[in-house]
Structure 1
Amino acid sequence: QTSLETCRYEPIGYPVSVHLYFYDERFQGYLVRQEVQNVGSRVRETVEVWAVPQATMQLENNLREFERLKNLEVGTEWDPKERIFRNFGGVIGPLDEPVAVQKWVRGPNLTATIVWIDPAQTVAASYDISVDVDAEYTQYKPPLQRPLRPGAWTVRVLRLWERVAEARFLVMPLAFKGREPLHQEEDSWLHAGPPGNLYLEQGFQQLRSVLKLPPQEPALQEAQQRAQLVGKPLEAWVDRTVGAFWVTGDLCSTLPSPGPCPSLGPCTKSTWSSLAPDPKSELGPVKGDGRIR
């Protein structure tokens, strides 16, 4: 067998566990434990995958006063006191209520226009924000009509309708509802977008030409077809969308000794795994001097 064949695995069932991974108090991704089977030897083992979210913010070149803008992020469960999203990883579903947060440094007063665009190239929301000299964060949660259309969304920051920054975020399609696989007849509404294709009482389609968006009809047709997916095609769509926003940081085996794949090291030897040694959390017996370490 070639090394490629000995290192091919297929998943068995669904993930066993998911851990949040932080380093230096910063979220680094999810640690997903999954039972797998080696394609060649048929040996079963459990692996842990480090899934890393991709940064999606892009800045234009000629920013001028908008050089104040340091970050643009969309998520849920924004904590204004700690200034972080409590939904680490930003997993957003069709029924969630996302908020767009901008991070600034000190600089001149300015007014920015924020525009939300859904996967079918529908302008979901548009609003202005005023940024004071000392403002560090601005945030707003538009009261979008749900369900949100699944797929890649875009939030743009505009100056006089010229783009200065944009970030993409994923509204993840649901493969399950109430622990049951989705059914086409009763559940297709979850992926169909809002009634009448309107996210707010007011429509913003007149902005399409100003924003130089591509023709909507092909994107809308594709979105409508995807809304009908169930079973394996739906799971494949979920995998594709997640793969566009997340990458594999590393992979390890929970076996104590090397398995059939020589390049798959043990998790206990890694620095990132949930099974990696953590001396600070290990408490031994009380010593003669009363200490535990």
Structure 2
Amino acid sequence: VRIVFVLTINGRQVRQVRRLLKAIYHTRHYYFIHVDMRQEYLYRELFPLESLLPNIFLARRRFATIWGGISLLQAHLEFMKEVLNKDWKWDYYINLSESDYPIKKLESLEIFLTEYKGHTFVKSHGHDTARFIRKQGLDKMFVECDTHMWRLGPKTLPTNIVFDGGSDWVALHRGFAQYVITSEDSLVSGLKTFYKYSLLPAESFFHTVLHNSEFCDKWMDNNLHLTNWRRAQGCKCQHKHVVDWCGCSPNVLTTHSLDKLMKYESKATYFARKFDPVIDQDIINSMDVYMFGKDMRDVRALTDYWQNEYHYLDDKEATNDVYLTFYSSFSRRSVIDLLPQTTGQCLVTPTQIVEANVLYQRDRFHGVIVKYNGQVKDGGSVMLETHLVERWDYKVLDPTGSMGRFINIQIGSNFDVKENIFRNYAKLLGPYSEIEVKHMWGPGPEFTVSVAFIDPADIVAVAHDVDIPKSGHIGSHKPELKLPLRPGVWMCKLMINYKVVLESRFLVLPLTTYHAVPLNITQAKLFHNGPQGGLYAERKFS
């Protein structure tokens, strides 16, 4: 068989995408890559692959897909139409993301699909269809608008239709894909209309068409994927900001998952998800060693991973001004620190931030590498790199009693409750950052700790109580603060029984740009005067 691998990718993990392509690449297969329309950096970095390899193509029509949205199904229907119209002689359509990775050699997948050629592989929810319909919200009317899925009200299900669904990771035979795209019968057109106003349509549309069409006897209840579900962590309504519904997401596989993956060695499972090199690159290295027999001993930077956070070619409106402000500030600081080491001869003025990458070593955050252009005193130009390393500034004032359970505290933003990690990896904060605190405790008697945030003007912005259970605990809390935050050094204090037991300082930096353009005086006053009325909450805490 010949396969068209359809990669729907997002984010900035260009190194991992290249690694995935290398793991599944062969000249007899095809690779159709869709980069989310909001991710220009990833698109720019991958586009040169087209000229290097004739069986790789990047989609020109791009979608902004969101979790649960109709846009993902619309995108796949568009992709199918495009790969059917190409002169590619493929037999199977298999979709993957940047979070997928093979757990078997490509040859074994080819042998399996050849043996069952003509079948379509989708994973079903099980036997309780009524529960599936309720859980997926198929009896509710949804519409996607402004990158949000809005729930409008109840919806009547069509009669005489067998509904099915489960996973949106599929392996569709070409004959079935051709039917879905070209058929004008009422089944296909009617279901396309129905799913246009449904939540998570890509998890159910293909399954339902398959069960109600002439292809119903060519169905295999297997999507060739292992998905790492830990629902206690993965089902915390983390998608509420983009959809009026509570959903679940799988967790990242780690080195502790290796035994679990090995159990699928004899099963018809060829891919696993999710993998994330920011959280655990070692498990991906293990896949290359154990599954593919690669000798990794001479691979440079095997335990290092870096991921781009900023590039000067990025869309200005999408630029994170907090990041750019920090990078600019520390580039200036680094050239000042450089002067004494060069007896004053290396007088450089930073002129442009070129790019910034977060660095992980042995699966631990190891700072940010900032590359920037500079002008030398004699008129020449240089390019420099500065490595910024994180330093935590907290002090335990009383290590006795319940504080004997304390392990760590961090303050940042964009906290991923599913993986217990800040997706603002460097934890860079500005006036409009929604700060969050992560605290870690060992096992012991349960107790209550009070958490207070004090701004640079010594105003208590907010305080709240947190109950710490008996077991080892990783907790997070996002205080509801009116923005903007006052720039400067903030303090987070932990109190037990009204006694301060820990102090942690963190920096909220004033912005120097807005959409990557220097601030004017009006903007500077607006952004840096603190919240309107001087209060961060509805009541005073001072």
TM beyond 0.5? yes
Letter in 2 for 1:56: D
The answer on 1:176 being equivalent to 2:513 is: yes
Distance in 2 (CA, whole Å) between partners of 1:186 and 1:56 is 30
TM-score normalised per structure 1 = 0.65
Determine the structure 2 residue equivalent to 1:247. none
Distance in 1 (CA, whole Å) between partners of 2:504 and 2:523 is 33
**3-state SS of paired residue (1:144):** coil
Distance in 2 (CA, whole Å) between partners of 1:158 and 1:192 is 28
Q: CA deviation at 1:42?
A: 4.5
Q: CA deviation at 1:177?
A: 1.1
Higher relative contact order (CA 8 A, sep 6+): 1
The answer on 1:79 being equivalent to 2:420 is: no
| Residues 3 and 182 of structure 1, relative CA distance in 2, 3 Å threshold | closer
Distance in 2 (CA, whole Å) between partners of 1:186 and 1:84 is 32
Determine the structure 2 residue equivalent to 1:54. 391
Letter in 2 for 1:157: L
Within-5 A mapping of 1:54-203: 54-203=391-540
| Residues 80 and 3 of structure 1, relative CA distance in 2, 3 Å threshold | closer
**3-state SS of paired residue (2:527):** helix
Distance in 1 (CA, whole Å) between partners of 2:522 and 2:416 is 38
Determine the structure 1 residue equivalent to 2:375. 37
Distance in 2 (CA, whole Å) between partners of 1:169 and 1:180 is 26
Give the structure with higher Rg (CA): 2
Q: CA deviation at 1:169?
A: 1.3
Normalized per residue, the structure richer in helix is 2
Distance in 1 (CA, whole Å) between partners of 2:505 and 2:529 is 20
Contact 2:349/2:376 (<8 A) preserved: no
| Residues 23 and 62 of structure 1, relative CA distance in 2, 3 Å threshold | closer
5+ long unaligned stretches in structure 1: 206-293
Distance in 2 (CA, whole Å) between partners of 1:62 and 1:56 is 16
Within-5 A mapping of 1:3-18: 3-6=342-345, 8-18=346-356
Distance in 2 (CA, whole Å) between partners of 1:9 and 1:27 is 31
Distance in 2 (CA, whole Å) between partners of 1:14 and 1:48 is 12
Distance in 2 (CA, whole Å) between partners of 1:50 and 1:148 is 27
Contact 2:495/2:501 (<8 A) preserved: yes
Distance in 1 (CA, whole Å) between partners of 2:490 and 2:371 is 29
| Residues 24 and 121 of structure 1, relative CA distance in 2, 3 Å threshold | same
**3-state SS of paired residue (2:352):** coil
5+ long unaligned stretches in structure 2: 1-340
Contact 1:72/1:166 (<8 A) preserved: no
Distance in 2 (CA, whole Å) between partners of 1:55 and 1:42 is 39
Contact 1:9/1:36 (<8 A) preserved: no
How many residues in Structure 1 have an aligned counterpart in Structure 2? 202
Percentage of pairs with the same residue: 29
Distance in 1 (CA, whole Å) between partners of 2:399 and 2:348 is 48
Contact 2:351/2:375 (<8 A) preserved: no
Contact 1:75/1:100 (<8 A) preserved: yes
Q: CA deviation at 1:35?
A: 1.6
Contact 2:352/2:374 (<8 A) preserved: no
Within-5 A mapping of 1:222-261: none
Normalized per residue, the structure richer in strand is 1
Determine the structure 2 residue equivalent to 1:22. 360
Letter in 1 for 2:469: D
| Residues 3 and 147 of structure 1, relative CA distance in 2, 3 Å threshold | closer
Q: CA deviation at 1:59?
A: 0.8
Q: What are the superposed Cα offsets for residues 25-64 of structure 1, whole Å, 9 maximum, x if unpaired?
A: 111111011222343x544221111011211121124422
Letter in 2 for 1:25: D
Distance in 2 (CA, whole Å) between partners of 1:185 and 1:78 is 31
| Residues 107 and 189 of structure 1, relative CA distance in 2, 3 Å threshold | same
Q: What are the superposed Cα offsets for residues 189-216 of structure 1, whole Å, 9 maximum, x if unpaired?
A: 21000111110101112xxxxxxxxxxx
Letter in 1 for 2:385: E
**3-state SS of paired residue (1:189):** helix
**3-state SS of paired residue (1:45):** strand
Q: What are the superposed Cα offsets for residues 142-200 of structure 1, whole Å, 9 maximum, x if unpaired?
A: 11000111111111111122111121111111101123221223441210001111101
Distance in 2 (CA, whole Å) between partners of 1:121 and 1:110 is 28
Distance in 2 (CA, whole Å) between partners of 1:64 and 1:109 is 11
Q: CA RMSD for the aligned pairs?
A: 1.7
Distance in 2 (CA, whole Å) between partners of 1:20 and 1:12 is 20
Q: What are the superposed Cα offsets for residues 55-107 of structure 1, whole Å, 9 maximum, x if unpaired?
A: 11211244222111111111111112211111011011111211111111111
**3-state SS of paired residue (1:19):** strand
Distance in 2 (CA, whole Å) between partners of 1:66 and 1:188 is 41
Letter in 2 for 1:202: R
Q: Which runs of 4+ in 1 moved over 2 A?
A: 36-39, 41-44
Distance in 2 (CA, whole Å) between partners of 1:185 and 1:38 is 33
